[in-house]
Structure 1
């Protein structure tokens, strides 16, 4: 828990807020955290999380755009390809979240100076 002023926050709440994630996004993020060194397809994520494939596809795209997931192309034997995803190193994710937190703190500081 992170204690801020008069409220305590669980770290998953901080991550969810900092990255502007939905509940579905967090469910998928938790899936990756449980298996951090495995590559996943959106189909396998949908099956394992019991989420709709289109929801998984949107969430995975968002997590990739936010820099949390690595994306790779997997070429299929009979032609075509599929994308696979893996969680980035936790230190990289921490850096992304801390940059957001620092920006927020700077904004609070600026607001207090103009108060």
Structure 2
């Protein structure tokens, strides 16, 4: 963890770090940011020269992370397809800040539990059974 915190991060690295996105996912996000309007999975696969299933997996991870929105487009004669657009940078940044704040609060609570558990006098610790932190 220390190494992750100390290394130089770029904007896309931060997006990947916060949401667990891989390099291809980040490339898809960047492609969507640069596109005029939304893109289909086939558009993404063509532009990144990868298979449709590979593009779809990245889009799915981005959609699940909440950084990409999916819009259904209906054909006049029936049927439909999806177009994907990135959420606004402000929305994505706000969500990353919320996730960071939640993580910070959780870690703070664990640190407090650590301090409470190990700051007891040595007699109390000797009489307690060994266990891992919750």
Q: Tell me the TM-score range normalised by the shorter chain.
A: 0.7 to 0.9
TM-score by length of 1: 0.83
Higher helix fraction: Structure 1 or Structure 2? 2
Distance 2:75 2:109 in 1: 53
Which range is displaced more, 76-85 or 55-64?
76-85
Tell me how far 1:32 sits from its aligned partner. 1.1
Which structure 1 segments of 5+ residues have no match?
Answer: none
Q: Which has the higher strand share?
A: 1
Distance 1:42 1:5, change over 3 A: closer
C-alpha distance in 2 between matches for 1:8 and 1:66? 23
Match of 2:19 in 1: 19
The answer to whether the aligner puts 1:9 opposite 2:13 as a matched pair is no
Moved over 6 A (4+): none
Bigger mean CA deviation after superposition, 61-70 or 17-26: 61-70
For 1:103 and 1:10, the matched residues in 2 are separated by 22
Summarize the Cα distance change of 1:72–1:13 in structure 2 as closer, same or farther, 3 Å threshold: same
Which residue of structure 2 aligns with residue 95 of structure 1? Answer: 94
Corresponding residue for residue 30 of structure 1: 30
> How much does 1:55 deviate?
1.0
TM-score, structure 2 as length reference: 0.72
The DSSP-based 3-state class of the residue aligned with 1:9 is coil
Q: Which runs of 5+ in 2 are unaligned?
A: 116-134
The residue that corresponds to 1:108 in the other structure is 107
Whole-angstrom CA distance in 1 between matches of 2:104 and 2:60: 28
After superposition, what is the alpha-carbon deviation per residue over 1:56-114, rounded to whole angstroms, capped at 9, x for unaligned?
11111221122111111112244311111111111111111111111222233223322
Instruction: Say how many residue pairs are matched.
Output: 111
